[in-house]
Amino acid sequence: MQNLLINNIVFLNRFDSILKNLLIIFIGSILYALSARIAIPIPPVPVTLQTLVLLTFSMAVGSRLAFLTFALYIFEGIIGIPVFAKPPFSGFYYLLGPSGGYLLGMLIASYFVGYLAEKNYDKNFIKSLITIFIGTIIIFVPGLIWLGFWFDQYHPELSQQINLSEGYNYAFKYGLLVFKFTEPVKIALAACITPLIWHFVKKK
């Protein structure tokens, strides 16, 4: 058994391994849905608590469960369960909207952050901070790539007025700079949470 934070939660250890994993995935998908709704509705991509929850949850559960949990969350949205951050809150075409690239980045980041947690990057603040920072970059790279394309191809007001290069200028402005205050705070919080919990676990 890997020495992950989730394996030190006594309540979950009452269940057999398969049921425990299913319960973790189910609870995680609910946390993603709830955190997506705690949002500042800035168009085209809202500021939510979802990245904070994703990075922290992935550090706690490891790569496989982190990836499967966020994959389930996306699947729930695709089949019509209203779990996404903004209207219409569900449906496959939501993935083609401005947030689609960020969701892909979060899926990739969940595995990466969970993998480094398996390598004990979750117990030390500096290693945790590095992991969370790289995980955040992984979220934003496909997010910005897709957002620039979306501005050029799909935005109802801008698609006839701008080229792809201008689309990426808009993506940088509305998909990165608007997060310049919120993301550093979330990175710092996510980097602190898991090592802090480990500190108390080790004291027991």
pLDDT digits (tens, 9 = 90+) for 34-81: 999 999 998 889 999 999 999 999 999 999 999 999 999 999 999 999
pLDDT, residue 159, reads: 46
Identify the burial level of 17 via C-beta atoms within 10 angstroms of its C-beta, where 0-12 means exposed, 13-18 middle and 19 or more buried.
exposed
Nearest to 107 by CA among 174, 57, 152: 57
CATH class of 5-203: mainly alpha
- Tokens linked to 1: 């058994």
Phi/psi for 47 (5° steps) reads -85, 120
pLDDT, residue 200, reads: 81
pLDDT, residue 4, reads: 87
Q: Name 53's Cβ contacts closer than 8 Å, sequence gap at least 6.
A: 31, 32, 35
Q: Name 146's Cβ contacts closer than 8 Å, sequence gap at least 6.
A: 98, 100, 101, 102, 104
- What is residue 1's DSSP assignment? -
pLDDT less than 70: residues of the chain: 1-2, 10, 154-164, 203-204
pLDDT, residue 163, reads: 66
What is this structure's pTM?
0.92
Separation of first and last alpha carbons in the chain:
19
Task: Quote the CA–CA distance of 58 and 96 in Å, as a whole number.
Answer: 25
Task: Quote the CA–CA distance of 44 and 152 in Å, as a whole number.
Answer: 13
Find where tokens 């608007």 sit.
178
Whole-number CA gyration radius for the chain: 18
Nearest to 183 by CA among 51, 70, 37: 51
Task: Quote the CA–CA distance of 54 and 67 in Å, as a whole number.
Answer: 10
Q: Is-contact 198 182, C-beta < 8 A?
A: no
The structural domains of the chain, with segments of one domain joined by +, span: 5-203
